[in-house]
Structure 1
Amino acid sequence: MTRFFTGALLCLMVLSTTSHAQSAKRKLTDREDLYGWEAIGRLDIGDQGFCTGTLIARDLVLTAAHCAVDKRTGKPFAPGKVTFRAGLSNGKALADRSVVQIAVHSDYGNHPHLSAAFVRADVALMRLEQPIPHSVADPFALHSGRVAGNEVSIASYGRGRSEAITRERSCRILQRRQGLITFNCDITFGSSGSALLARNGPRWQILSVVSAVGNDGRQKVGFGMELAGIVDELKADLRRDAPKPQASIRRLQVGTDKSSSGAKFISSGGS
């Protein structure tokens, strides 16, 4: 597995490379095209670039850790730095939401260089300032178990296709081993953080998150991680680290709910 890691990290958002036939991909530019894919959005990271993220709940976006951490500080981006733009198409999003909280895989910071261990930990979860209604974007569920026929799909933004989701209808898993998934989908800079999707009945579900690209000596290959248990841990981290609500104190007049500027006392006789 380690011999595949000869490519560049699909990180800061934009640069271009292609390998698959363009006929295998389709841009989702019309509202009808977007139906069922509205939960995929572009993650705009200030003026630094963008990645791709996917709603897994009305207020939670799954993406890659390297899309969530500021390289200069090694810490998650500050609240308000990242914006999730659900279903962005030709400059218009179905919903724009600021990211107010980020949880990153606990092992991510221990692997600063591209490696199998890096990819396995390259997962982050972002909480949005306000939920996006189901009527606007229906979140994707997580996939588990085997993938029939090893067929997967990917929908993402990328350099040269940054203004609309581009979906590759069918690509294939090449290997699942040691917590890693390799696949031959056509990914590029900006595709980082996008969901690798596997079909479960009529629905596509999230199997992995796009982390890196390399070469197996014959073709370009993408790398993602097994998600089992990771997302639940990140949700727990968000709950644990969520800002505590601020308590407020009001002084009330006796027998009313109107605020008073001072305390009121009741005599022992009740008057």
Structure 2
Amino acid sequence: MITRLIVFLALALPIAAPSAVLANDPLNALDWRGDILGWEAVGRLDLPGGHCTGVLISSDLVLTAAHCLFDKNARQIAPEQIVFRAGYAKGKSIVDRRGEKIVVARGYTPSRTGQIMVKDVVTDVALVRLSSPISSSEADPFRIHEDPQQGEVVSVLSYGLGRMEVLSQQRSCKVTARYQEGIMSFDCDVTYGSSGAPVFVRYGSRFRILSLVSAGSDFGTDNVVSFGMVLPDVVAQLKQDLRYGGGQAPTVSAGAKRITAGQRNGSSGARFVRP
């Protein structure tokens, strides 16, 4: 049981962070155009003062972590200040699009302190509608996976600290636990700037999006744990809110609360940090 949890949710990685691929990085750096074939729908989401990772789920919809779309004062960033750079590598991208509209998962609470409740990992999901569609010949969107299983082999692609100029791929990591609130944990190698990165699972000959990277712990060690959420229901609601103008204005949290986060074998005090 994860008890007495204090959850920290990070801001986007500042643009001023180092951009070279780290030496001895165990991840696979997709640093030339041929490496990106098939992954063009994953892109860097450039924001005022920082960046996150996003992924196309339709020709004009980018899926990312909700916390990426709020500034340090918990104010939502204007959509036109967001640029999605599909297949970005070393200063060039397949195609760039500005945001036109943002919708955030119901119940998500941005924080001025950087600390949130566990429930906000579950709802740390948002859609950015782009100013114009991206053709499938440029970047083919990914579908959402609907049946996550503990122990399932997954892969993660992201623009993280020290590798923000190229897309990095961890080809094989695992779902390590599932919690009753709808949180999943992974042993994937994520770091700051990986927020919103898609966690993929192979479905037949295709890859589908199982989750998004929302939070993590033990960055800079060999025991990195990352956390994400179950997606199908929340994404379906986001699409409906975007289509019909629903949703709600997020309330602002004053800080973290100590709560119980569901059942699993053993116990630990975990600190979730913004990746």
TM-score range, shorter chain: 0.7 to 0.9
Counterpart Cα distance in 2 of 1:110 and 1:212: 14
Task: Output aligned runs, 1:1-271, within 5 Å.
Answer: 1-3=1-3, 5=5, 8-14=8-14, 22=24, 24-46=26-48, 48-72=49-73, 74-109=74-109, 113-147=115-149, 149-178=151-180, 179-215=182-218, 219-241=223-245
- Percent of residue pairs identical: 43
Aligned 8 A contact 1:10 1:213 in 2? no
The 1:173–1:148 alpha-carbon spacing in structure 2 relative to 1, beyond 3 Å, is: closer
Cα shift readout 1:66-121 (whole Å, capped 9, x = no counterpart): 0112342x343213111000000110010000011000011012777333212011
| Deviation (angstroms), 1:5 | 4.9
Q: How far off is 1:208 after superposition? A: 0.7
**Following the alignment from structure 2 to structure 1, what is the Cα–Cα distance between the partners of residues 206 and 26?**
20
Query: Residue deviations 1:20-73, cap 9 Å, x none?
Result: x95641111222100110000001002x1000000000100000000112342x
Matched to 2:116, the amino acid is: L
Q: Which blocks of at least 5 consecutive residues in structure 2 are unaligned? A: 247-275
Give the TM-score of the pair, scaled to structure 1: 0.80
TM-score, normalized by length of structure 2? 0.78
- 8 Å CA contact 1:196–1:209 kept in 2: the answer is yes
How many angstroms apart in 1 are the aligned matches of 2:4 and 2:30? 32
Rounded to whole Å, the distance in 1 between the matches of 2:152 and 2:141 is: 23
1:148 Cα offset (Å) = 8.3
Query: CA, structure 1 residues 140+220, in 2 after alignment: closer, same or farther (shift >3 Å)?
Result: same
1:10–1:190 CA contact under 8 A, matched in 2: no
Contact map agreement 1:182 1:223 (CA 8 A) in 2: yes
The 8 Å contact of residues 24 and 169 in structure 1, kept in 2 or not, is answered as no
- Per-residue Cα deviation, 1:156-175 (whole angstroms, up to 9, x for no partner): 00111011100001111110
- Distance in 2 (alpha carbons) for counterparts of 1:211 and 1:138: 24
Cα deviation per residue 1:199-231 (whole Å; 9 max; x = unaligned)? 11111110111100125x992210101113100
Between Structure 1 and Structure 2, how many residues are aligned? 236
Could you say which residue in structure 2 is the equivalent of 1:261?
none
Structure 1 unaligned spans of 5+ = 243-271
Indicate how the Cα distance of structure 1 residues 5 and 218 shifts in structure 2: closer, same or farther if over 3 A, else same. Answer: farther
Task: Look up the equivalent residue of 1:51 and give its one-letter code.
Answer: C
Bigger Cα displacement from structure 2, 55-64 vs 201-210: 201-210
2:266 matched residue in structure 1: none
> Contact 2:216–2:225 at 8 Å: present in 1 too?
yes
TM-fit CA distance, 1:3: 4.5
Q: Matches of 2:127 and 2:174 in 1, distance apart? A: 26
CA 174–137 in structure 1, closer or farther in 2 if over 3 Å, else same: same
How far, CA to CA, are the matches of 1:209 and 1:109 in structure 2? 17
2:5 & 2:159 partners in 1: Cα distance?
23
Letter in 1 for 2:37: Y
Shift of 1:192: 0.2
Indicate how the Cα distance of structure 1 residues 4 and 165 shifts in structure 2: closer, same or farther if over 3 A, else same: farther
RMSD: 2.6
Larger radius of gyration: 1
Counterparts in 2 of 1:218 and 1:84: CA distance versus 1, 3 Å = closer
SS in 1 for 2:109: helix
